[in-house]
Amino acid sequence: MTFKNTLSYAQELDMQDPLRRYRNEFHFPKVNGKEVIYFTGNSLGLQPKRTKKYVDDVMNDWAELAVEGHFYAEKPWWDYHERLAKPLAKVVGALPEEVSVMNTLTVNLHLLMVSFYTPTAKRFKIICEEKAFPSDQYMLQSQARFHGFDPNTTIVEVKKRSGEHAWHTEDFIDKINEVGEELALVLIGGVNYYNGQVLDMEAITKAGKAVGAKVGWDLAHGVGNVELKLHDWKADFAAWCSYKYMNSGPGNASGIYVHEQYLDRKDLPRFEGWWGTKKETRFLMKPEFEPMENADAWQISNAPILSIAPYLASLELFEEVGMSALIEKRNRITAYLEFILREIDAAVDSSFEIITPKERGCQLSVFLHGEGKALFNYLMENGVITDWREPNVIRLAPAPFYCSYEDMYRFGQILKEGILSK
Ligand SMILES: *Cc1c(COP(=O)(O)O)cnc(C)c1O
């Protein structure tokens, strides 16, 4: 398909877009009285308009029913979180019983490592990607120390080849085979937050399991963005946050996935609490823990209803639209953004470089060679919300739920003016 860098062509693409009405389901911030061009859905998704009602309903039930809301609210609180499992399972390619919602992402990764990182003197190493998201690095280092290992000899990073911006799948597989019998765990960001690369999660999972390691995925940038088949890939576990592509609000609840082979088992190490024990007997307040037969066994505390209410609202939107329609639009709008970037690059004779490889979701990371922070500031002042990553990268994520093709065209014009004005 050949695109055109004109307003009328962008508007034509919008007219053909089967998801175009969903733009109106979201609140857009304004700059200079105009709705922004929002490229940071990979960091904090926009607020769906329907979310407020879900939160208000809980507030009203709390006001009117108080403690009785646990059982008599329209959506009773004691099993409110169970409503999220089915739609969320579809988003991540899991069985509903393999999915639960609780806590926040880094907390959940720590909790899952209690079950899936059980190092021995011989098998203790962890493979992750070079320059993993800082929170993941801190988590892995502190877990290694907690078990009495030196992080420097425990954590093995898979590096990019010199001068390249993306990883090669074979480099992960080679490293896994090299560490072999010493490898306890592979834990990697499935979609890299910096360069937007989608890793071959299926191949890496298979390789890790073949040498007897456990394999887990941090899907902060994967969930709601790319096709996931956690169950079919036989990943051991995964966790993700809900506030990026899942549009569930700042710092909101995380989701977890645990493969069905680990469900309904008492022999796994796990940090436990009353919300993970069988609900039939939970309120008998017995001393003995009976794990729920699904991933809810990892729940510790009673669920934070006010924060999972927005997650439920968002999942309703995902359920309505479906991942395949989102991915179809994602491919097209990201290709159009790439086209616009190349057009502007040629027009201004500037030199920026898209460092995202072709294995990608909706994010394009752009390395600004000559340009820098001043251009980024110009974009922000002119209603383009993007983000800056040191040393010289802006990340552009046209979330397919609410970004339009016209946004991409207008962005190109602002980018061009920004470069030419300096
Ligand atoms: C966003 C993100 C996080 C954030 O972790 P929180 O515990 O939710 O603060 C962690 N890891 C990755 C890879 C991320 O992209």
Residue 2 lies in a domain: no
Residues 395 and 414 in one domain: yes
Which CATH number fits the domain that encloses residue 99? 3.40.640.10
Residue 235 lies in a domain: yes
pLDDT category of residue 1 using cuts at 50, 70 and 90: low
Residues 328 and 357 in one domain: yes
Per-residue pLDDT at 46: 98
Q: How far is the CA of 11 from the centre of ligand 1 (A)?
A: 35
Q: Are 372 and 397 in contact (CB under 8 A)?
A: no
The model's pTM: 0.97
Q: Whose CA is nearest to atom 2 of ligand 1?
A: 220
Which residue among 44, 107, 241 has the greatest number of ligand 1 atoms within 8 angstroms of its CB, and so is best to mutate?
Answer: 241
Mean pLDDT calculated for residue range 268-296: 92
Which CATH number fits the domain that encloses residue 336? 3.90.1150.10
pLDDT category of residue 286 using cuts at 50, 70 and 90: confident
Please report the atom of ligand 1 found closest to the CA of residue 132.
13
Residues 43 and 127 in one domain: no
**What radius of gyration do the chain's Cα atoms show?**
23
Reported as a single tens digit per residue, the pLDDT across 69-108 is 999 999 999 999 999 999 999 999 999 999 999 999 999 9
Residue 214 amino acid letter = K
Residues 220 and 119 in one domain: yes
pLDDT at residue 368 greater than cutoff 90: no
pLDDT at residue 370 greater than cutoff 80: no
Which residue among 136, 217, 243 has the greatest number of ligand 1 atoms within 8 angstroms of its CB, and so is best to mutate?
Answer: 136
pLDDT at residue 60 greater than cutoff 80: yes
pLDDT at residue 421 greater than cutoff 90: no
Residue 223 lies in a domain: yes
What percent of the chain lies above the pLDDT cut of 90?
Answer: 91
The residues with which 389 forms a beta bridge, in sequence order, are 393
Residues 114 and 165 in one domain: yes
pLDDT at residue 373 greater than cutoff 90: no
pLDDT at residue 371 greater than cutoff 80: no
Average the pLDDT over each of 262-266, 284-288, 305-309, 335-339 and give the range with the smallest value. Answer: 284-288
Q: Could you give the C-alpha distances from 62 to 39, 57, 201, 306, in angstroms and in order? A: 36, 8, 43, 10
Domain count, the chain: 2
Residues 210 and 307 in one domain: yes
Reported as a single tens digit per residue, the pLDDT across 331-357 is 999 999 999 999 999 988 767 899 999
Average pLDDT score, the chain: 96
Range of the domain at 190: 52-321
Residue ranges for the binding site for pyridoxal 5'-phosphate? 105-106, 133-136, 218, 221, 243, 274, 302
Residues 240 and 274 in one domain: yes
Mean pLDDT calculated for residue range 6-15: 98
Residue 227 lies in a domain: yes
Pocket of ligand 1 (CB under 6 A): 104-106, 133, 135-136, 189, 193, 218, 220-221, 241
Last residue within a domain, chosen from 274, 303, 321: 321
